[in-house]
Structure 1
Amino acid sequence: MTRNSYEERQEARRARYEERAERARKEAEGKARRATTMADCIPFGQPILVGHHSEGRDRRFRARIGQVMTQAVQADKKADYYEQKAEGVGKGGISSDDPQAIEKLTAQLEKLEADSIKMKAANKAVRKNDRKALEALGYSEKAIELLFKPDHVGRVGYADFELTGNRANARRIRQRIEVLKKTQARENVEQVGEGYTYREDSEENRVMFEFDGKPDAETRQVLKDHSFRWSPTRGENGAWVRHLNNAGIYNAQCVRKILDAQKD
C-alpha cells in the first residue's frame, strides 16, 4: 500500500526514535559492562584501607565505578523514553498534517451524530419501558439491562452530560473540519527574500523558511524566538517550519522583516 507524504514522515520519525533508542541501549550496556569490569578489580569484600597510601586513589576509583553505573542507568532510561516515543508515533489522534484528515474527521463526525440520534431514541424507549424498541436499535440484552439500571442519583438511560459531551465533541470536530478546509483552500506562496526562500505550503500544512545552507546563529535565534523549528525532512537542505495558520503567517512576516532589515 502506497504511503502519502505524511505517513512517510511519520515512518521516518518513528525510525529516528528507534535508532536513538538502540544507540542509548547500547550505551547503557557498554557502561554497565565497564562498571562491572572496574568493580571486578576490587577483591571481594575488600574495604577501603583508611590511612593507607592507596586510600585516596581507591576512593576515587570506587566513586568512578558509581558514576559509570549511574551513566548506564541514565542511558537505559533514555532508551526507554525513545522506545515509548517510537511506539506513540501515529497514535495521537487525527493530525491536521494528514492529507486524509478531513475524510477521517468527517467519518468521526458522522459517527458522533449517529450516536446522538441513537442515544436520544434509547432514552425515549427507556422512559416508555420499551425493550423491544431498544432491541431494534441494536442494543444487546446486557446493554439494555445497563440502560435500566439507575446510577448513583437514580437516573436511567443516558445522562444529560453524556448527550452534551457527545454534541460538544461533534461541534469541535465540525470546527476542525472547517479550519482544515480553509487551510487547504489557501493558495501556495513561494517568495525569495534576502538569503532565504519563504513558502506557505497548504499540502504540507506548513509555513517555512528554506536556506541554501545552515543559517547563522543570530538568524536561528530569530526563528526560534518566533516558534519556528528545524525540520531536516523538508526541502533539499531542510527547513524551519510552523503550522500554516494565522499565527504562523503573522510570525513569519515578523521574521521576514527582521531578516530583510539585517541585510540593508
Structure 2
Amino acid sequence: MNKYEAKQQARRERLEDRADRARSAANMTYNRARSMASAIPFGQPILVGHHSEGRDRNYRNRIHNTFGKAFALQDQAATLAQRAESVGTGGISSDDPDAIDKLREKLATLEADQERMKKTNALIRRDNRAGLAALGYSADAIESLFKPDFAGRIGFASYELTNNNANIRRIRGRIAELEKMAERTDREVSGDGYKYREDIEDNRAAFVFDAKPCKAVRELLKRNGFVFSPSRCKGGNSVYVRKLTGSAIATAQWLRPQLDQMQITE
C-alpha cells in the first residue's frame, strides 16, 4: 500500500467510524423517544382546557422532535456509510504515485478487450464457432453471441467498440499528461501580495497569500477551480489550490496578471 492508498484507507475508516457513531446515536435517540412516548397511555387524548394541556402539548412535541432527530441520525449514518464505500472507487487518481503504472495496466486491458471484440465479430461473420471456442468462449456464451439484440445485431455492437476505443484514447492522453507532469520540478514565483507554487510531491498548483484575500480575489480563484485549503495554511497565510494538471498551470498563468492588477486584501 503506497502513501496515497494508505490515505484513502484512513479516510474510509474515518467515515466508517463516523457512520457507526451516528448509527449508535440514532438508536439511543430512538429508544429515548419510545421511552418518552410510553409515559402517555395508548389513545390518551390531550385534555383541552385542562391545566395540563400546555405541558402535555410541549411533552408530545418533545417526543415528536426526538423521533425526528433519531431518523435524521439514521439518514446521516446511511450517507456516511455510502461515502465510505465509495472511497477509492472513482477511478485512478493522479494523486496516486503509482497512477502511471495503474493506467498502463488499465490501458493494456482495454486494448486486449478491443482486439478480442474485433476478433470475435470477425469469427461471428464467418460463423466460425470453433474459432470462438479457441478464443475461450463457452458453448453457452457462443450461443449468446449469435442471438440478435433488440436492433437485430449479433456479436459486439459498433458502439461498444467505439466507446472502448474512446476510453483507450482517454487513458493514453492521461498517461502522456502524467508523464509530462513527472518531468516538471517544483516552481515558485512571487507576485504582489502572493506567491504561486507548483508542488510536484503534493500534486497541487497553489496561490499562497500573505493574508486573507478580498472577496473579489476569492471569487476569481473559485471561478477558476482554485479552492481554499485550510490544511495547507501556516502562519496566518491563505492558500488556494488546484490539482496540478496542464489545464491548472495554463489557468494559473492567465490568473497571475489578473491578480497583479487587483487589490489583494480589503
What is the alpha-carbon distance in structure 1 between the residues aligned to residue 131 and residue 225 of structure 2?
A: 55
Q: What number of residue pairs does the alignment pair up? A: 260
Q: Please report the TM-score for the alignment, with normalisation by the length of structure 2.
A: 0.81
CA distance in 2: counterparts of 1:200 and 1:230, whole angstroms:
16
Bigger shift: residues 252-261 or 50-59: 252-261
> Which residue of structure 1 aligns with residue 93 of structure 2?
95
Name stretches of at least 5 consecutive residues in structure 1 with no aligned partner.
none
CA RMSD after TM alignment: 3.2
Q: What letter matches 2:92 in structure 1?
A: I
The question of whether the paired residues in 2 share the 8 Å contact of 1:192 and 1:198 is answered with yes
Aligned with residue 257 of structure 1, among 256, 259, 262:
259
Aligned to 1:244: 244
- Whole-Å Cα distance in 2 between the matches of residues 231 and 21 of structure 1? 25
Contact 2:190 2:196 in 1 (8 A): yes
Query: What is the CA distance between 1:31 and its match in structure 2?
Result: 2.2
Is the counterpart of residue 66 in structure 1 residue 64 in structure 2? yes
Following superposition, the deviation at residue 193 of structure 1 comes to: 6.7
- Residue 206 of structure 1: how far off its partner (Å): 1.4
Kept in 2, the 8 Å contact 1:194–1:260? The answer is no
How far apart, in 1, do the equivalents of 2:92 and 2:240 lie? Answer: 23
C-alpha contact (below 8 Å) 1:125/1:134 kept by paired residues: yes
- Percent identical: 48
Q: Which amino acid aligns with 1:77?
A: D
- Cα deviation per residue 1:73-100 (whole Å; 9 max; x = unaligned)? 1011001100111111111221222111
CA–CA distance in structure 2, aligned partners of residues 253 and 76 of structure 1:
46
| Separation in 2, partners of 1:231, 1:87 | 25
Structure-2 separation of matches of 1:231 and 1:262:
18
The one-letter amino acid of 2:244's match is: L
Q: Verify: 1:142 aligned to 2:140, yes or no.
A: yes
Give the 3 Å change call, closer, same or farther, for CA 216–259 of structure 1 in structure 2: farther
Give the gaps of 5 or more residues in structure 2: none
What is the distance in 1 between the residues matched to 2:4 and 2:228?
17
Residue 182 of structure 1: how far off its partner (Å): 2.1
Q: CA deviation at 1:189?
A: 1.8
Match of 2:37 in 1: 39
Q: Could you tell me the TM-score, scaled by structure 1's length?
A: 0.81
Which of 169, 189, 193 is matched with 1:171 structurally? 169
Seen in structure 2, the aligned counterparts of structure 1 residues 196 and 8 have a Cα distance that, compared at 3 Å, is: farther
Q: Structure 1 residue 129 and structure 2 residue 127: aligned?
A: yes
Deviation at 1:184, TM superposition (A): 2.1
User: Does the aligned pair in 2 maintain the 1:134–1:144 contact within 8 Å?
Assistant: yes
* 1:80-229 → structure 2 map (5 Å cutoff): 80-191=78-189, 198-209=196-207, 216=212, 218=214, 221=218, 224=222, 226-229=224-227
Structure 1's 227 and 161: CA in aligned 2 closer, same or farther, altered over 3 A?
closer
> Deviation of residue 248 (structure 1)?
3.1
**Which residue in the other structure is 1:6 paired with?**
4
Structure 1 residue 158: deviation in Å? 2.2
1:77: which partner in 2? 75
- What SS does structure 2 have at the residue aligned with 1:257? helix
Asked if the contact 1:125–1:133 (Cα under 8 Å) also holds between the matched residues in 2, the reply is yes
Q: Which residue identity does 1:4 align to in structure 2? A: N
Please tell me whether the aligned partners of residues 206 and 242 of structure 1 are also in contact (alpha carbons under 8 angstroms): yes
Shift of 1:50: 0.8
Distance in 2 (alpha carbons) for counterparts of 1:76 and 1:217: 40
Instruction: Quote the Cα distance in structure 1 between the aligned partners of 2:88 and 2:110.
Output: 22
Cα 1:153–1:22 shift into 2, 3 Å:
closer
Change (3 A) 1:58 1:110: same
